[in-house]
A and B are shown apart, each in its own frame.
Chain A
């Protein structure tokens, strides 16, 4: 549908443009500026061109962090999406129970990132934590600050606990929008539970699931607070994901130039992957429809 051409409309957008300019465009330009310069002490800057970018692309440390990051996001999606759907499917359809469920489900979403980190940090401690103590009493050795696998498992658990609700709520909304006629038809056709899911619920949830995957991917790709609170990226560099690495570089080492280049590349990578994700899903959808 084509809009009627009206230049005056731009006047109305100006306040927002100014706000956005101050809140994101100008800071971002500063970062771009930094990424091409080297700084000594405080205020002396030298033009270094693409030096930082070149260096970063050859940095093993960065590639390691990138690999960890991808693996992390992949595992998160693999767990949270099916689990969220499962939770949504088993939620009550209507009435008081449904409202209670919705409120309970939203609780984790309301907890700040660093609090989630702290909760799990305490929860997992072998001396005073409920989980850590229980596991060690069962004879299972579990120590997230020493063992890389345990640290990973804890971070993943944390994220799953924190965000599966979001996937579940989105899926639940998708499920509720399916007209009852479909379920009735399925009953009449004597379709099994799996068939109902495979041929009715899943295809009708498609739209919301795409959004859920995209949101969870972008968010998990930027994870920072939880592993930082838990182990500060350790043990060793085991849970040093991209953003932790970035902060280490920028604040810990005061390498403003490389850090600026890093964040720009980080930003572009997220943009790129999200874009690819989105187009692939959209075209798959279109092809399916036209087949």
Chain B
């Protein structure tokens, strides 16, 4: 079982919504589409579902061409950002509805509904109508309905976006569990990098209608192929500084020089952009070998456990995340540092030329 898109594109009123995309989703895989609003996540999902017809390219389901096939005849389920349930039916009937359409026996339906309710913690409210339950429960009901019919492809379009923060946290844990139990191909759209990481599986990063990279979540996070992907997969946004590579090493705008070791030793001389994530910015006692900068503090944000520093350095604006709570005065000069090992290097075409070494893979328990 697999879903394969070959050169699939979508053009609406002369505007390209999806550039030709090639992607293969394997049986039993979790695939997260990550990108900002209007990057093409929903358009791509609609193409996968068969709700829209691609302008070019072909779509294969288990090696069969299903490009023109109606959505009704395909084996899919969809969960939307809005909580879509039948308002006049109880939670039980909502979950049972797709099974009834498939003419299952009453006993079979009952068993399946109760199984789904158990999985999604809906057992106690099976008799309630959607209007009487909370938003989180409504969305769980919609998910139960989508999963009840046991389809090959489950599409979820930002299903948690309209939920309270804590409910989101709860469902984020539940979704991978559901996915494992179902064995279907899951496609999940989100704007939040952390959500993509927590859901695991594969990540496809999208930007302006293009899939910029597709691969296991951690590989994409730690080895973004270009600056765009790095930006999409960082929250707070990735910080950048322009550097110069020459025979002596890597030169920063203020003249600081660090030796070009490891991968950076092999890149040709020239101008590069170095990028790093917020939590790699350091303050206070710097590690030996760290690149240090005099930063001007714009604003600090305290989160209870950590501090976000918004600073300006050599005309660039950076966001740093440091552990602990430290309040500073706006406008204050701060010595900050960067571990050179945490830098990504992008060439003038924004392609990745050197990434930090992957931390040693943790031994799974």
Contact = CB atoms under 8 A, between A and B. Distances in A.
A4 interface: yes
Contacts, number: 12
12 contacts: A1-B52, A2-B52, A2-B53, A4-B50, A4-B51, A4-B53, A4-B68, A4-B70, A4-B71, A5-B53, A5-B68, A6-B70
Interface in B30-59: 50-53
Nearest to A1: B52
B352 to A, nearest CB: 37
B8 to A, nearest CB: 14
A233 to B, nearest CB: 50
A116 to B, nearest CB: 42
Nearest to A6: B70
Interface in B315-356: none
B264 to A, nearest CB: 47
A282 to B, nearest CB: 15
Contacts of B68: 4-5
Interface in A1-42: 1-2, 4-6
Interface string A191-209: 0000000000000000000
Contacts of A2: 52-53
Q: Is the interface of B mostly helix, strand, loop or mixed?
A: loop
Contacts of B50: 4
Interface of B: 50-53, 68, 70-71
Main secondary structure of the interface of A (DSSP, over half): loop
A4 B51 CA distance: 7
8 smallest CB-CB distances across A and B, nearest first, come from A4-B70, A2-B53, A2-B52, A6-B70, A4-B53, A5-B68, A4-B71, A1-B52
B273 to A, nearest CB: 35
A18 B7 CA distance: 43
A225 B64 CA distance: 65
Nearest to B72: A4
Contacts of A5: 53, 68
A3 to B, nearest CB: 9
Contacts of B71: 4
A4 B53 CA distance: 7
A26 to B, nearest CB: 35
A289 to B, nearest CB: 15
Nearest to B53: A2
Contacts of B53: 2, 4-5
Contacts of A4: 50-51, 53, 68, 70-71
B243 to A, nearest CB: 42
Nearest to B46: A1
B44 to A, nearest CB: 15
Contacts of A6: 70
Q: Which of A1, A4, A5, A6 has the largest number of chain B CB atoms within 10 A? A: A4
Nearest to B50: A4
B158 to A, nearest CB: 19
A126 B346 CA distance: 92
A14 to B, nearest CB: 21
A33 B54 CA distance: 46
Given A2-B53, A4-B50, A5-B68, 8 more contacts: A1-B52, A2-B52, A4-B51, A4-B53, A4-B70, A4-B71, A5-B53, A6-B70
Nearest to B70: A4
Nearest to B73: A4
A221 B71 CA distance: 46
A8 to B, nearest CB: 10
Nearest to B54: A2
